[in-house]
Structure 1
Amino acid sequence: MTDPFPGAGILRLSGSVPSHGSGDFLYAGKRSSIFGSKGQVRRFRVAAEKGSNEDVEAFAAQVAAILGDKRSWIGNGNVRLQMVSGSEKADFTVYLATRDTAGQLCLRGGTNIRVGGVPYTSCRATGKAVINLDRWRLSAKPYLDAKVDLAIYRRYVINHEVGHELGHHHEGCPKAGGPAPVMVQQTLTLRGCKPYAWPRRNDRNFAGPAL
């Protein structure tokens, strides 16, 4: 199977990133197997904004690879996940949106993602994990400062926003210099930890103190 992620050593992608698109979305058409062995099945769709210059099927391949990994949320035995096509009923949708559209979707869901006046972070709104195209292509300062690959940041941001949809909240760093739990707001700060992309570590759930 071809690795769908940016290669090793790539910290961010070159080229301009559209700040806004059409506001409409294209949905991936593939259906995955059920990821995980135990727990309630939660079904999700994957969509990319028209005008984002992103291939929705390529985005979906990365989302499925992340959420189907045993280091992700399925590994705890409490939930199973399945990607379905855009025409099927789903519990939530993972959206890849330009920063302006992400800002609007998030604000409608009750979250202001602006930093310095610009829609910067990603967010979760009810039934939506909204991934900001700027972050998907350009990563975030804590990861860039640590020289951590864009592919790892992408794993983090999908796990973090889907984690919110699954009922998890923001956490702190449990040990300075150690790995950051995935529910730390790593896009903004590592809180003294080091970048880490998964909710599980060494085959165990990995979390920090509640904030």
Structure 2
Amino acid sequence: MLDARQDHPGARTHRAAPGRRGTARRRTGRRRAAATTALLAAGAASLYLAVAHGLPGPHDRSGRDAAGATPAGETAAPDPAGTARAPTRSSVPESGPGTFTTATAGARATGAGRPYRVETEDGSGVRPDDAAERIAAILGHEQGWSRGDGTAFRQVADDSATLVIRIATPHTSDGICATGGLDTRGELNCRVGATVVVNLRRWQLGSPEFDGPPEEYRALIVNHEVGHWLGYGHRGCPGPGAPAPVMMQQIKGLHGCVSNAWPYGRDGTFHDGPHEP
């Protein structure tokens, strides 16, 4: 600490009387100690308030302050909370109320094509209209079922549908599939009569056996189950390195084939394989 005369050059200097100089020095020392203690306490309190309220505080070695603020001259990184995060297994609901909401956007009451309806389970986190848009793109894809036999599809929002595609939580999926005698174990999709049941977990996460993103695996789900509705049975891998038929149960392993989500190739060739149960 600087001497008082250096801090305040114009201030008057008071000298202690010769007989009282020691006492004055002791009093001055006590005052300085008290002042230092007060400053330290004030600094600690300010730091506590800064951290508690997210205000800038002392910088650590990384150049960021203890409260996480960005020092002047640096650019703040994007807020992770403001970016979309990929779903994880724990974030996909296991069960729901068993009630569904029908997609209405894109539905047409009249027109050509086989009428189908899209429904998503309430509380699943999947909006019906978003799901319907993706399913319409799959069914209308140039390598989809309409490529080979001229099958066209038309989305509706009423009971005129001859095909219903439902996205449901694993527990609800199991319940619906069980009505057809199928054990899906919370993991698989199924087709029961005119209803295609898409397991929410598969819709959101894809399959570890499928070499592609979840959105492409969604195409495989829809094409496989709609293929059953059209009358196609299961197929096996035709040979190592060949595209896996869309009617192959690819979630159970590829057996040398390459992941594939579409019934037809770009050249119009139907991806077929040996019949399987």
Question: TM-score over 0.5 for the alignment?
Answer: yes
Is residue 97 of structure 1 aligned with residue 168 of structure 2?
Answer: yes
Shift of 1:78: 4.2
Report the equivalent of 1:4.
none
Q: How far apart in 1 are the matches of 2:255 and 2:192?
A: 24
CA contact (8 A) 1:34 1:80 kept: no
Report the equivalent of 2:183.
112
Alignment of 1:15-94 (within 5 A): 16-30=91-105, 31=107, 41-85=113-157, 87-94=158-165
Shift of 1:83: 1.0
Count of residues in correspondence between the two structures: 187
Q: Which runs of 4+ in 1 moved over 2 A?
A: 12-15, 32-35
- Please give the TM-score of this superposition, normalised by the length of structure 2: 0.64
CA contact (8 A) 2:243 2:271 kept: no
Q: How far apart in 2 are the matches of 1:54 and 1:131?
A: 12
CA contact (8 A) 1:169 1:183 kept: yes
Give the residue type in structure 2 aligned to 1:113: T
SS at 2:217's partner residue? helix
CA contact (8 A) 1:160 1:183 kept: yes
Shift of 1:77: 2.5
Higher relative contact order (CA 8 A, sep 6+): 1
Shift of 1:204: 2.3
Can you give the 5+ residue segments of structure 2 that lack an aligned partner in the other structure? 1-85
Q: How far apart in 1 are the matches of 2:111 and 2:240?
A: 37
Q: How far apart in 2 are the matches of 1:54 and 1:151?
A: 13
Q: How far apart in 1 are the matches of 2:262 and 2:239?
A: 16
CA deviations over 1:135-182 (Å, ceiling 9, x no partner): 111111202xx3x11111111111111111111111001111221010
Query: Percent of aligned pairs with the same residue?
Result: 36
SS at 1:205's partner residue? coil
CA deviations over 1:163-211 (Å, ceiling 9, x no partner): 1111111100111122101000012211221110000012122211111
Report the equivalent of 2:273.
208
199-208 vs 122-131, greater mean Cα deviation: 199-208
Relative to its length, the structure with more helix (as a share) is 2
Relative to its length, the structure with more strand (as a share) is 1
Can you give the 5+ residue segments of structure 1 that lack an aligned partner in the other structure? 1-11, 36-40
Residue 133 (structure 1) aligned to one of 185, 200, 213:
200
Q: How far apart in 2 are the matches of 1:127 and 1:135?
A: 20
Residue 245 (structure 2) aligned to one of 152, 165, 181:
181
Q: How far apart in 1 are the matches of 2:236 and 2:111?
A: 31
CA contact (8 A) 2:206 2:215 kept: no
Give the residue type in structure 1 aligned to 2:270: N
75-84 vs 129-138, greater mean Cα deviation: 75-84
- Please give the TM-score of this superposition, normalised by the length of structure 1: 0.84
Q: How far apart in 1 are the matches of 2:191 and 2:262?
A: 17
Shift of 1:34: 6.1
